[in-house]
Structure 1
Amino acid sequence: MSRPYKIPESVLVVIHTAQLEVLLIERADRPGFWQSVTGSKDSVDELFLETAVREVEEETGIAVRNLPFEQEQVAGLVTISAHVPLENLKDWQLSNVYDIYPVWQHRYGPDVTRNTEHVFGLRVPRDIPVVLAPREHLNFVWLPYREAADKCFSASNAEAILLLPKYVDRAG
């Protein structure tokens, strides 16, 4: 059975601290390509907020939840997951339309050449545990936002990171 084509609508989530440090992750399929969390909608009906929450957890292990904390039952033990409140996830009301990189074109339908990316910011504590999805990412690093922007391979990702001071709520 062949995999369905990706939906050419995605999210970009800039994970950051109140001190403007940004979490970057290195792609497993392209070592040396550093980026923020990105991912496509799973279905046409999936809300961008839902996509952002899902992708952050899949790629970093950070759960974004409505509850002040969440307990999970794992093998009979109660654990508290790495999480942040949903209110820390902000839709920046920005979107970028860009040409899909040729290396990833095969994931999309034959006539699809452009993707629309919706930008979010997620404020987290600096010491939050990060657990990467090993099939997707090799390493992570926290960098001051300007250095993070310089390290990104994607121009739209770098531009979003440079906008961070405009969107960050340093009080919270």
Structure 2
Amino acid sequence: MILQRQDDPNFWQSVTGTLEQGELAVSTAMREVKEETGIDIQQAGYQLHDHQQINRYAIRDIWQYRYPPNTPYNTEHVFSVQIDGNDDIRLTEHLCYRWLDKTSAMSKVWSDTNRAAIAQHVPDFSD
């Protein structure tokens, strides 16, 4: 599933979020999935996979105001979870979502790091 941002409708992405002070990355991932989609990973019995991968990328100018001054890069921890396509999705921060096959998702997401994560960690169910 990919999500369309409200503040830039041409920007499609996975669930993303910010580490809160003292929060572990795995806790952030679970919290952000619940906040952005309404899915409680633990309650649903899903398995969150920590890929032990950290990406660094330049912060887009339009989002720079969200970061401390002189912060040019963001750090991204890569997680994945396979959910049931019949789950009730409740968007809070996005315009819409789409279920796409791996190739279509890779071509639709905006960021290179999202594309790479999909390529590396999303199974290809067309086989």
Regarding TM over 0.5, the answer is: yes
Note the residue ranges of structure 2 that are not aligned, 5 or more in a row: none
Please give the per-residue CA displacement for 1:86-128, whole angstroms capped at 9, x wherever unaligned.
5x10101111011111110111111211111000011111211
Tell me the residue number matched to 1:126: 85
Counterpart residue number, 1:144: 101
Which one of the candidate residues 88, 108, 111 is aligned to 1:154? 111
Structure 2 residue aligned with 1:50: 27
Following the alignment from structure 1 to structure 2, what is the Cα–Cα distance between the partners of residues 84 and 40?
Answer: 23
SS at 2:31 equivalent: helix
Counterpart position of 1:96: 55
Deviation at 1:32, TM superposition (A): 2.0
- The CA distance in 2 between the partners of 1:150 and 1:93, in whole Å, is 24
Which structure shows the higher strand fraction?
1
CA shift digits 1:31-77 (9 cap, x unpaired): 1211000001121x100011001100000000111xxxxxxxxxxxx
**Residue from 19, 26, 29 that aligns with 2:7:** 29
Q: Does 1:84 align with 2:44?
A: yes
Structure 1 residue 84, shift from structure 2 partner: 2.5
Distance 2:60 2:45 in 1: 33
> Which protein has the larger Cα radius of gyration, Structure 1 or Structure 2?
1
Q: What is the Cα deviation at residue 146 of structure 1? A: 1.3
Which residue of the other structure, out of 36, 41, 55, is the alignment partner of 2:19? 41
* Cα separation, 2, equivalents of 1:42 and 1:145: 31
How well do the aligned residues superpose, as a CA RMSD in angstroms? 1.4
Work out the percentage of aligned pairs sharing the same amino acid. Answer: 41
Structure 1: stretches of 5+ with no match in the other structure: 1-22, 66-82
Please give the alpha-carbon distance, in whole angstroms, between the structure 2 residues aligned to 1:85 and 1:114.
34
1:139 partner SS: strand
Residue in 1 that maps onto 2:76: 117
SS in 2 for 1:40: coil
Aligned partners of 1:52 and 1:132: how far apart in 2?
A: 16
Compute the TM-score of the two structures, normalised by the length of structure 2: 0.92
